[in-house]
Amino acid sequence: MNARRLTFQKALPFIITFLVGLWLVVLRPLGLDLSRLPGDLGDGRFNNYVLEHFYRWLCGLEPDYWNAPFFAPYPNTIAFSDNLLGSAPFYALLRGLGLDRESAFQGWYLLSFALNYAAAAGVLARVKFKPVSAALGAFFFTFGLPVLAQEGHAQLAFRFAIPIAAYLLWKFFQQPRLSTLAGVAFWTAWQLYLSIYLGILLGMFLLALLAVLICLYLAGRRRGIAWSLPERLRQAWRAARPREKAAAVLLFGGAVLAAGLLMLPYFQVTRLYYFSRPWNEVTETLPRWQSYLLAQNSLVWEWVTRGGSFLKPYLTDFSLLNEHQLFPGFALVISLLAGPFLLKRNRRLVVAFLGAAMVLVIVTFYYNGFSLYRFIWSLPGMGSLRSLTRVQLVLMFPLSVYLAGVLDGLEKPPLFTPRWGNAALALFAVLLIGESALYTHSTISKAEAQARLTALRAQIPDSVPQDPVLLLVSRSDEPAYQSELDAMLLAQELGWKTMNGYSGNVPTGYRSAESCSQLTARIEGYMKFAGISDPEFERNFIRRVVPLGFNDCNLDEWLR
């Protein structure tokens, strides 16, 4: 009974902290009745489309996963953006349990917070941080301000592989085992499947952590070279039994192969469509010093970006200000300042993780026209990445490690007696949780999103051609992407293709369909892309098109 009580007491801070975060930060904005969806009518609905496409493909309703039926007739459209293959099975399970498309999306979104928290809390507890410290560190990783700044980009929601991969690399240097190294590869590959962006940024962080770990061992031992990576690999190989060697090689090789297979469609699309981000476009989302002070949706810190604030004059050249909301919160700033005085436990771990984070901050930092990241951008395949401010979603784990280490120190004399240490810990918890709770969230009404499609469905003519292709007009009273996504989701419900489309990339020359002239422009653009010169192709395609909302479409005239 005592053992059970002790286990429950250790688990209680984690349970309470997670439930408080889930309630204040996630469920409250979505509504108790889950009547709202995260984000706006843009990226959130696009991710819902991709997840539903996976479910339909799994059920045999779509013949090919990568060739989703939007931007028709262009191929490989899923590879225009994140594919969500790493988390789509969770969504498919919820759909299989009977939830509709939007409700399953909400469940998928909520699950991301649970898995992220469980992974961070598990790792922080594993390295022997005290329960309250580990719970608050996991809270920061899961519900911190930089996470909320990206709530409109649901493709970034699942990050649970980041803490596990980072921890296993650390563990490999402490106790070299092949299975541990294979685990690093496995979880890194899974994060790549969860999000291409975060998978690549995690890879960069692991390389930085590897370099820091090697430097620490070189600096701390006379025969430091014996503790570097090659020697650790030799030690792990010698200590492993034949079965462990075989299993580790298979797991490591399988993870590398899986990552390669995932990236193959993206390399094909880059070559086929010439997708690449020019350097001046990439610099728009490289973090500046101002980025780490911005949290414009925070009810506590939004004054920083208001007119008259000290920072306002330095924000004039920010074309994508919403992407630069990287302020980690005042609670984290306090911990960074207090760290040198309070860090007692796991010093080497904390120093290694913080050092790797600093390396990544320096590499991605942009100042006065210069960034070290340009050397990485020039590498094959890296030119298509744009939103580098998302690196903060990876950096939040090493920061949570640092935070847990500092909070552990509050309970250590001589700086604090236990009573004052606990009081300081409680105040810190209130500040950390309060910063995330006092936030203006971006959500949309689920009923409104569904009503848009219901209204469009009523406009579909009674008679449609065989194998129809939808083309929806772009409304002038709202952003074009909203109509594009309406068309994608409606076509998905009907089992049709659509010429409309929205993604991280678009085919060359694609324009919003404000008039029916875009019908022929898009078909002719595809014919040029595919090298088709037969005019009969255009006529046959036009016969399949079902235009909605246009007042200048006369398909019969075009077919004469």
Give 3-state DSSP helix, strand, coil % of the chain, rounded to 5: 65, 5, 30
**Is the model more confident about 312 or about 107?**
107
pLDDT at 537 over 80: yes
Average pLDDT over residues 65-74: 96
pLDDT at 99 over 60: yes
Average pLDDT over residues 69-91: 96
**One-letter amino acid identity for 474?**
S
Q: Is 472 helix (H, G, I), strand (E, B) or coil?
A: strand
Confidence of residue 225 (pLDDT cuts 50, 70, 90): very low
User: Cβ distance 52 to 492 under 8 Å?
Assistant: yes
Confidence of residue 221 (pLDDT cuts 50, 70, 90): low
Closest CA to 490 of 516, 464, 452, 547: 452
Average pLDDT over residues 315-338: 85
- What's the pLDDT at 226? 47
Average pLDDT over residues 34-52: 94
Q: How many whole angstroms from its chain centre is CA 296?
A: 20
What's 24's DSSP letter? I
Closest CA to 449 of 155, 28, 150, 101: 101
- What's the pLDDT at 316? 62
Report in angstroms the alpha-carbon separations of 293 from 44, 159, 329.
26, 23, 9
- What's the pLDDT at 224? 47
**Is the model more confident about 237 or about 478?**
478
- What's the pLDDT at 143? 98
Q: Above pLDDT 70, what percent of the chain?
A: 92
Confidence of residue 222 (pLDDT cuts 50, 70, 90): very low
pLDDT, one tens digit per residue, over 417-436 is: 677 778 888 899 999 999 99
pLDDT at 339 over 80: yes
pLDDT, one tens digit per residue, over 142-194 is: 999 999 999 999 999 999 999 999 999 999 988 888 889 999 999 999 999 99
Lowest mean pLDDT among 50-64, 83-97, 270-284, 357-371: 270-284
**Is the model more confident about 231 or about 16?**
16
Closest CA to 157 of 137, 167, 143, 138: 143
- What's the pLDDT at 72? 92
**Is the model more confident about 10 or about 357?**
357
Report in angstroms the alpha-carbon separations of 400 from 38, 117, 138, 337, 480.
25, 11, 7, 14, 39
pLDDT, one tens digit per residue, over 105-150 is: 999 999 999 999 999 999 999 999 999 999 999 999 999 999 999 9
- What's the pLDDT at 1? 44
pLDDT at 306 over 90: no
Closest CA to 192 of 182, 181, 183, 202: 202
Domain boundaries, the chain: 2-33+82-437, 446-559
Average pLDDT over residues 355-367: 95
- What's the pLDDT at 366? 93
Q: Within 10 Å of residue 441's Cβ, how many Cβ atoms? A: 16
